Every structure is written in structure tokens, then in C-alpha cells.
Amino acid sequence: MASTVAGRRKLDFIEKDVPLSGFTTWNIGGPARYFCQPKSLTQLREAVNFAEELDIETILMGNGSNILISDDGFNGLAIRLGAGFGDLEATGDTIKASAGTPLYKLADTANKAGSCCFNFLTGIPGTVGGGLVMNAGAFGSEISDYLTELTYLGPEGELHDVTTKEVGFNYRSSPFQDCSDKILLEATFKLDRDADQPDMSEILELRREKFPYSKPSAGSVFKNPTDIDMTAGELLDKVGAKGFSVGDAAVSHQHANFILNKGHATAKNIRKAIDILRNRVYKEFGVTLVTEIVVI
């Protein structure tokens, strides 16, 4: 069944004026003009066509773990891939994972198949699609290290299969970051059975010791600079970032590269804190920190 919006078709699985705060790990974000969680490729194509008919922007939210949504919301269509995009299959030395698959499931499945190569993803609250868009990594590994090919939906609704070499990944970035017209659907990974990584439980314990989990956050706010032998967290620590706050947006006392939502933080609070901290580091070290999070 379908209704109309301003003379155009409206699909029943597309909702209107949905607050996005409940779909981000920061618990921050105003309403999306339209929002949907497509359960199939057909619904996803219909949603993309719907946005094109209305001439509005689209954003892919993933698990909302690396994104800051404006307090005013998003005047377009926010898409969060639903349960139909969570397939995962291990065959021999290969794992195929749909974009909506949680990263911890990828690591767990690899372990059951005899490889610890994805253990570094343990504790990262994202999806395979979001992990690839940001080229998620930790403990010296990145998700693209084991990627062989992926499938994405193009702007005309066509499917594209490409290899890792055709895409090109960099530190905490990929060509898909600024391409809302290319939607990642599935990835194929090669299992490295010679990988030497700590157990998932050990990595989870290391994360709990190092990173704050008591309050909502989006993980590391800034990327580590590549032209200096110090991490973003170390630079921020040296300029007294820990405990600094703007409203309810507060830098963790445990890790200086985490900004926590203490209860009622706004996107405006977060952005002001980011600007102040970036300026502090630049004045002290001449280094311009680049955000790892995506600001909408």
C-alpha cells in the first residue's frame, strides 16, 4: 500500500519526522524529515527512488556510532539498513557479510571458522557497512586489510561488484564517505588463519580499561595525526582536555579523545567542544586535528 506526499508516492515503510537521537550512540539528533529501515533490496531501491522524486538528500546511518546529527535534524531521508541486511556466511577461507551485520558478529563468525583476524573489531559498536565506510580499525589492523570485494547499489539502482584495489582505502576513510549515491550492500573478506591477535574477551577487557563506556559517546572524536608521533588522545591530554565540558558534553577523564553525553548534551554543545579542543591543540603543537566522526 502507498499514499502520496505532496502529489508524490509515499511508501508505508517510510516514516515522517522521526527523532534520530534514538538511532545514534551519542543519543543526540533532531528529527529526520523522512526515515526508513528497509528490509530488502527492493525496499531500499524504492526508498532511494522516493528521495529522488522529492529531490531530497539521503544519509546512511549504519549503527549511528560515528555520527553527529544536528539538533535541527535532517531535512531529507535517513536510511538505516534493517534486518534483511544482516546476513553472514562463512565458507572455507571466505566470509560474506551484509552491510547491516554488527562488527562483533563478523569477529565471532571468523573465530568459529578458525581465524582471529577480526578480533580487533570487538567492542566497536558499528556495522560492516559503517565499518567499511570509515575503514574501522584498532590495534594496528583495519577492516579493509581483509576485504577482497564488495557490492554496492549505484544511483540508478544498479548493482556493482568491485575489488579492494578498485576502491582504495586510507586511514579511517574510504571513497564511500562522501558518496551518498553509492550504498554498500555486501562485502567479501578473506580469512587470515595465521593472524595473531588477542582473544575477543581479552580485547573487550582492554577496551573497558582504556575507553569509557559509562555514558553515551561516539568513540574517538578525532583521527590520530599521521605526521607526528603522538595520538590524538595524547595531544588532547597534554592540553588539559580531560574533564573539559560544554554543557552536558564532557571530555572523559578516562580518555581525552572521547566526548561523553552526560545526559542532555546537544549537537551544538559537541561541536563547540570540538572547535575549542582543536584550537587548543593547534595553538600548543601546530597540529590541526581532523574529526573521525561525521557531522550531519
Mark 59-90 as b/e (b = at least 16 C-beta within 10 Å): bbbbbbbbbbbbeebbebbbbbbbebbbebeb
The active-site residue out of 46, 65, 172, 278 is 172
Mark 163-202 as b/e (b = at least 16 C-beta within 10 Å): ebeebebeebbbebeeebebbbbbbbbbbbeebebeebee
pLDDT value for 109: 96
Do 24 and 261 contact (CB within 8 A), yes or no? no
pLDDT value for 2: 44
Q: Is 292 a catalytic residue?
A: yes
The active-site residue out of 98, 141, 174, 220 is 220
**Average pLDDT per consecutive 10 residues, the chain (296 residues; last block may be shorter):** 48 95 96 96 95 94 91 96 88 95 95 95 91 90 94 90 88 79 93 92 91 92 92 97 98 97 98 98 97 92
Residue 196 per-residue DSSP state: -
The active-site residue out of 46, 142, 186, 292 is 292
Angle between helices 103-112 and 200-210 (to 10 degrees): 150
Query: What is the distance of C-alpha 45 from the center of its chain?
Result: 22
> Cα-flanking dihedrals φ and ψ of residue 142, to 5°?
-130, 150
Cell numbers given for 87: 546476513
> Cα-flanking dihedrals φ and ψ of residue 237, to 5°?
-60, -40
pLDDT value for 4: 45
User: Where do the domains of the chain lie, and which CATH numbers do they carry?
Assistant: 2-83 (3.30.43.10), 86-190 (3.30.465.10), 212-295 (3.90.78.10)
How many C-beta atoms lie closer than 10 Å to residue 53's C-beta?
A: 14
Q: Is 172 a catalytic residue?
A: yes
* Sign of the four-CA dihedral 101, 107, 108, 112: positive
Distance CA 244, CA 204 (A): 27
pLDDT value for 222: 97
pTM for this one?
0.89
Cell numbers given for 222: 578525532
